[in-house]
Copies of this chain bind each other. A is one copy, B any other.
Amino acid sequence: MQLLMDGYSENKDLLQNEEFLRELLTDYPSKIGMTRISDPHIIRFTDCEPEEWGISGFVFLAESHIAIHTFVERSYVNIDVFSCKDFDTSVAAEDLRKRFRLTQWRVSLAEREWSRSSPDSKNPSLFTYNGS
């Protein structure tokens, strides 16, 4: 299952705080039952349009990965939590909403497992909900 979360934060400082992102990517996987198998990779991106700069972070999980991209001037963040094992996406989304202090957000879920032996499994379960 892959959680795709996009939202607007009320706190721009968080979105440019590399330590916040590093700590989140370090500690968060175990809190949602996942196993981190690399250190977090963090990068600051400024070679762009002035309103598009931000920080990005990534960590490998035994179960797949977490990737986060912030766009500081727009107060915007994209979050991917991708696990080949099931996890409680509602709990994860609510927790991430609070951590990033999102005032508006959107969550999409994509089922990434797909069995070729079952034709019905060709229909993926993609669904989305919004919050504010």
A contacts, CB < 8 Å to B: 2, 4, 6, 8, 37-38, 41, 43, 45, 47-48, 52, 56, 58, 60, 62, 64-65, 67, 69, 71, 78, 80, 82, 84, 104, 106, 108, 110, 112-114, 116, 122, 124, 126, 128, 130
A60 cross-chain contacts in B, Cβ below 8 A: 41, 43, 45, 56, 58
Q: Are B112 and A6 in contact (CB under 8 A)?
A: yes
Select from chain B the residue with minimum beta-carbon distance to A67.
Answer: B65
Chain A interface mostly helix, strand, loop or mixed? strand
Q: Are B37 and A45 in contact (CB under 8 A)?
A: yes
Given A41-B41, A62-B45, A126-B126 in contact, is the A6-B114 Cβ separation under 8 Å?
yes
- The one of B38, B56, B113 in contact with A41, judged by C-beta atoms closer than 8 angstroms, is B38
A82 cross-chain contacts in B, Cβ below 8 A: 67, 69, 78, 80
